[in-house]
Amino acid sequence: MSEQLVIEPARFAREGRKLAGRLAVDALPRLAEAVQPGSGEVSYEISGFITSKGHIGLRLSVSAAVGLVCNRCLEGLTQQLDSSREIVLVPGADEFAQPEDESDTEDIIPEVARLDIRELVEDELLLAMPLAAHHDECAAPDVSGEDPLSAARLSPFAALSRLKKD
């Protein structure tokens, strides 16, 4: 297994540090399970900052091209996943409470002493995945259930209809 990517968010933000790198999709087990094998690499960038209210903040950007299955034609497709988010760590914050002033690109989570970057990147990519992946244009498979060759065959109930006529 590869090395742990763990930071101390408070120190990381106070020092205004930045961290960027690449991870193999296979190193992210939940993401690897949701995509096609051999989906390549994930690139990430994270930087620390202090908010105007004095809270610890992290800016996270992730990008990956992953293989998915088209829900229309059931063929493979490559989906580009890109996401950027600001994460604010607040002491005593309730994970399920949503402040009224929270923006779409900012999440508030409870403050922690140590944070695993690998899990954070994986969570962000899972949230960026489409609910139903599909090509822009593709031919949907024939799901009518009719075999084109069966039209020429005699129905098994044809004998019953003859009995009814007699």
Geometric angle at alpha carbon 108, from 104 and 112, rounded to 5°: 150
CA distance readout (Å), 1 to 28, 44, 126, 133: 11, 19, 21, 30
Q: Are 135 and 77 in contact (CB under 8 A)?
A: yes
Sequence letter at residue 66: V
Q: What is the pLDDT of residue 157?
A: 74
Q: What is the pLDDT of residue 95?
A: 54
Q: What is the pLDDT of residue 63?
A: 96
Provide the 10 A C-beta neighbour count for residue 1: 4
User: Per residue of the chain (166 residues), what is the pLDDT tens digit?
Assistant: 445 689 999 999 999 999 999 999 988 999 999 999 887 899 999 999 999 888 999 999 999 999 999 888 888 889 999 999 999 988 876 655 555 655 566 788 888 899 999 999 999 999 999 988 888 887 756 656 665 555 556 677 777 777 776 5
pTM of the model as a whole: 0.73
Residue 27 CB contacts under 8 Å (≥ 6 apart), including other chains = 1, 2, 118
Sequence letter at residue 150: S
3-state secondary structure of 162: helix
Q: DSSP class of residue 153?
A: S
Q: What is the pLDDT of residue 56?
A: 93
Q: What is the pLDDT of residue 62?
A: 96
Q: What is the pLDDT of residue 143?
A: 59
